Structure 1
């Protein structure tokens, strides 16, 4: 049986560490593992694919599609070790595992200010980076033929080359809980997700903001609706455009998007009816409007002083995206202004908690990006830094003290995500009728 000599990861791997660890696995595997470059990023960083096994049926796992969600890198390394240790996952399933180490390495490098810890909310948001919507490589706002980013084109080529029966996209939730999104149902996955989360002490998110209008397949498992033409604001908030999640469906692929939280909040798992639904919605929407106005004033003071600041345009793009969507979100959540033709679904305490977290997330991310812009300028003629520091500290304290956000160790985040990926792989294979791997006893996974 394969014995991995690599030390365990207790922090998020950087771009360079991912490549080095994958290369070490390939060297030690006697041909069971291959590492190849499948493209390059906009900055020229290689996009590395680690393939394990020689089976005819292809599974594709994509890590790092969002720059600020680094857990996927730790997860793919863990998956590679698991797959090497259990031949039922390769030869026994006639499968090859293809692990894309990081889809947005340039963005991940921009998060290295917080990757190594200490893991505090303030440190995370002050060093947070996530590109603007049009620079996120999973989205296809102009369709596959119009894909502009080299990272996107590389993934599309890979999907069409492999024609995977199963694809998984690894995501992270900065504050909240765990959930899964599927392009089609995998019966039995809800139970396995709940079991993995319970064993590892990770809250399930029963009403994610992302899936507010999406069909629910079971607790914390949701079906991704087919893409439809919408405006940019809707696309940013609802993933309404075409994406690489749906692109390989022409090959019969089922896609699972697995979300693992960094800071967990117990209340996102509370499915009870709220005491005052409308009052809570008004509070959340009013807070979002107030916070957006504050941030717009800060931005107006800061923007004239950003000429010559390195990467100012790249940092401003997500700021503008976030402030663009705030009015529409606040109106959609407010019972006094909501569109009667698109009413909110029945809401639980979990939903209201998730909306509160989402509103705060937009505000504190925007403040963190503005903080970086002012810091990079090397001067603060607008006097914005003290105000931004106070805003970030206050919003982080709200997450910590009011929502009860608690840090989940990296090893547990990755272990949860790996368990869910393996469960979805089995169910997708069983659905196709081409594998009976899941009928055999599974080697227990260790808990760190």
Structure 2
């Protein structure tokens, strides 16, 4: 199985153990590159999620051989994803993802000098910003199952609570914890981790701000507003993300799926020169 990202990714999943042949990464690889290049969408080599997947090539992740029917998320929790059901029936599943925002930095293949340091820095940033959100809230989002007053508050609380587990998962996949480093090995993955650390906590702060009622203390509202303004500016300055029109997102999805499905079904793919 595999998965593909632009600043997202393509997960191509087969109903048998992943092999680099026919309907696996070998098929996904050239088609994903062509589809993304035609639309000027950067391909992400190693995203911050898909922690148990093998980064086969830019934009393509493969499910490792012997994987079960569940998937581990960045927080270390396993879930039964619907895209895993194909494995139960000996068939093929392809999941194509396209970004709403694209950042060219995620496609930088250059190796970094100290992957362990890059992973640690991303984890430290994630935890520091989560702590800043907690301090701004001042206990306004209760902790514990069922304690939140609304679905939005519950989602914000869950994001903040899972940050330590995400940082721990990243560390477990980088030197010296992993025999073969998975995270932090390229400039592109450094960018992916940096964006994720910022985005997760920015989203938690934004949801927390929206979840607070009009009766919330003004200092808490002002503190959250300040974090949101500063972090949004910093994210835009550091990574220069650009919005991809919905038409571009849809075209990337459709062209990727047609290019993958065609060879699998014995048909010609659009734009393959055949």
- Which category of TM-score, normalised to the shorter sequence, fits these structures? 0.7 to 0.9
> Quick one: which of 352, 366, 369 aligns to 2:204?
366
- Measured in 1, the distance between the counterparts of 2:46 and 2:164 equals 21
> Does the CA contact (< 8 Å) of 1:206 and 1:350 recur in 2?
yes
1:301 is the counterpart of 2:139: yes
Q: CA deviation at 1:327?
A: 1.3
> C-alpha separation between the residues in 2 aligned to 1:423 and 1:362?
33
Q: 2:126 aligns with which of 266, 274, 288?
A: 288
1:106-162 superposed Cα distances (whole Å, 9 cap, x missing partner) = xxxxxxxxxxxxxxxxxxxxxxxxxxxxxxxxxxxxxxxxxxxxxxxxxxxxxxxxx
Instruction: Give runs of aligned pairs for residues 24-103 of structure 1, distance below 5 A.
Output: none
Partner residue, 2:40? 201
Task: Confirm or deny that 1:218 pairs with 2:54.
Answer: no
* Equivalent residues of 2:35, 2:252 under 8 A apart: yes
Structure 1 residues 411 and 318 mapped into 2: Cα distance closer, same or farther (>3 Å)? same
Aligned to 1:179: 9
Query: Is 1:408 aligned to residue 238 of structure 2?
Result: no
Q: 1:209·1:354 contact (CA, 8 Å) conserved in 2?
A: yes
- CA RMSD between the two structures: 3.1
Q: Deviations over 1:404-440 (max 9, x none)?
A: 11111221111111111112222332xxxxxx3227x
Shift in Å, 1:261:
1.1
Aligned-pair distance for 1:312?
A: 3.6
Equivalent residues of 1:203, 1:268 under 8 A apart: yes
1:396 corresponds to? 232
- Residues of 1 paired with 2:140 and 2:186: CA distance? 39
Deviation string 1:318-358 (CA, Å, 9 cap, x unpaired) is 223222221133234459x9773676426111111111111
Which residue does 2:195 correspond to in 1?
A: 357
Cα deviation, residue 179, structure 1:
1.6
Native 8 Å contact 1:400 1:406 kept in 2: no
2:255 matched residue in structure 1: 419
* Structure-2 change in CA distance of 1:327 and 1:178 (3 Å): closer
- Note the residue ranges of structure 1 that are not aligned, 5 or more in a row: 1-167, 305-310, 430-435
The alignment status of 1:331 with 2:168, answered yes or no, reads yes
1:254 paired with 2:100, answer: no
Q: Which 4+ stretches in 1 moved above 6 angstroms?
A: none
Note the alpha carbon deviations across 1:387-410, whole angstroms, 9 max, x for none: 112211222222211111111122
| Cα shift at 1:281 | 2.8
Q: Answer yes or no: is the 8 Å Cα contact 1:227–1:242 preserved in 2.
A: no
TM-score of the two chains, using structure 1 as the length reference: 0.51
**Unaligned residue ranges in structure 2 (runs of 5+):** 15-23, 143-147
Offset from partner CA, 1:3-54 (integer Å, 9 cap, x none): xxxxxxxxxxxxxxxxxxxxxxxxxxxxxxxxxxxxxxxxxxxxxxxxxxxx
Is this contact kept in 2: 1:270–1:350, CA < 8 A? yes
Which of 175, 187, 190 matches 2:29? Answer: 190
**Residue deviations 1:69-119, cap 9 Å, x none?**
xxxxxxxxxxxxxxxxxxxxxxxxxxxxxxxxxxxxxxxxxxxxxxxxxxx
Please tell me whether residue 319 in structure 1 is matched to residue 149 in structure 2.
no
Q: Check whether the contact 1:291–1:363 (CA below 8 A) recurs between aligned residues.
A: yes
Distance 1:370 1:380 in 2: 11
- With over 3 angstroms needed to count, the CA separation of the structure-2 counterparts of 1:251 and 1:279, relative to structure 1, is closer
Map residues 149-164 of structure 1 onto 2, 5 A cutoff. Answer: none
1:229, 1:259 → 2: CA distance? Answer: 19
Residue 378 in structure 1 maps to residue 214 in structure 2 = yes
* Relative contact order, higher structure (CA 8 A, sep 6+): 2
Alignment counterpart, residue 387 of structure 1, candidates 223, 238, 241: 223
